[in-house]
């Protein structure tokens, strides 16, 4: 593949051109499996290339922590080569979560879909291969209006007449996890209801269904105490609010605050 602006040959599909400082892909879709990740580079609604990163477990079991970190590091390096505006990811949670921690691009988890990454150990293509269900899902939604990114520090997003959170440290962790999301503008803690059904699993957190204005609620449950906190988002309707809700619940699962 050559740079779309100056024609310089690129080492890998969708690479950022260092000759003329031009991005050749504005988004990367990553589909994770236990031992491989398929990266599809997009430029608006066009697939401009694919790359597959693979790894080999030392045993028949899952990757060790070091292997997982190194695997995610290789995927992160491929993403950084493209300098995309946005990264979309689906698939196996552990390498996805580790990769997300290693990159600083706008990063969204999207619905999983079974899609193989090819039979070889590694490879690249120029975009002629069949589009996977995950890539099709992303392409279908890329025409939607982009949600505004909130630059306010997470700590400053929390406010309201109620300042107490249930669950002590875990309650604060849940609210902090939500506050870090780029499309959350404000979190308003609600009153605590002590008459709920008892929970034996410690504090659990869940973002509830979005309203017509795109806002959601963060439901905290700890023992017999329940607290409903209002989350103001940059979503403009229920559909875009649901996208934020799904992302929030995934972040809460990653933080081990959901079953």
With cut-offs at 50, 70 and 90, classify the pLDDT of residue 171: very high
pLDDT in tens, 212-247: 999 999 999 998 899 999 999 999 899 889 989 988
Report the C-alpha gap between 221 and 191 in whole angstroms.
Answer: 12
CB 217 within 8 A of CB 231: yes
Rounded average pLDDT over 67-76: 95
pLDDT at residue 15 is higher than 60? yes
Average pLDDT, the chain: 86
pLDDT at residue 179 is higher than 60? yes
- Phi first, then psi: give them for residue 90, nearest 5 degrees: -145, 165
Kindly state the tokens that stand for 156.
């400053």
Strands 106-109 and 86-91: parallel
pLDDT in tens, 83-112: 999 899 999 988 998 998 899 888 888 878
pLDDT attached to residue 151? 83
The single residue listed with the structure tokens 């204005």 is: 213
Q: What three-state secondary structure class fits 233? A: strand
Domains in the chain (CATH in brackets) are 27-141 (3.30.420.60), 154-254 (no CATH)
């Amino acid at each position: 593949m050559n740079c779309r602006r100056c024609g310089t040959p690129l080492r890998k599909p969708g690479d950022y051109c260092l000759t003329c400082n031009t991005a050749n892909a504005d988004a990367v879709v990553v589909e994770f499996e236990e031992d491989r990740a398929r990266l599809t580079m997009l430029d608006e609604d066009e697939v401009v290339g694919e790359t597959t990163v693979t790894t080999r477990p030392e045993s028949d079991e899952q990757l060790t922590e070091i292997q997982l970190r190194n695997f995610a590091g290789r995927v992160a390096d491929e993403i950084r080569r493209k300098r995309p505006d946005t990264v979309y990811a689906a698939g196996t949670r552990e390498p996805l979560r580790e990769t997300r921690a290693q990159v600083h691009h706008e990063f969204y988890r999207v619905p999983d879909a079974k899609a193989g990454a090819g039979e070889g150990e590694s490879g690249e293509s120029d975009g002629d291969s069949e589009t996977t269900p995950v890539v099709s899902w992303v392409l279908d939604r890329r025409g939607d209006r982009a949600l505004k990114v909130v630059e306010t520090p997470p700590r400053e997003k929390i406010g309201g007449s109620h300042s107490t959170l249930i669950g002590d440290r875990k309650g604060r962790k849940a609210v902090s996890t939500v506050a870090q999301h780029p499309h959350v503008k404000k979190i308003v803690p609600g009153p605590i209801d002590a008459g709920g059904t008892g929970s034996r699993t410690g504090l659990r957190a869940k973002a509830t269904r979005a309203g017509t204005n795109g806002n959601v609620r963060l439901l905290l449950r700890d023992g017999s105490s329940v607290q409903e906190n209002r989350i103001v988002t940059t979503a403009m309707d229920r559909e875009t609010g649901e996208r934020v809700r799904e992302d929030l619940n995934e972040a809460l699962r990653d933080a081990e605050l959901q079953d």
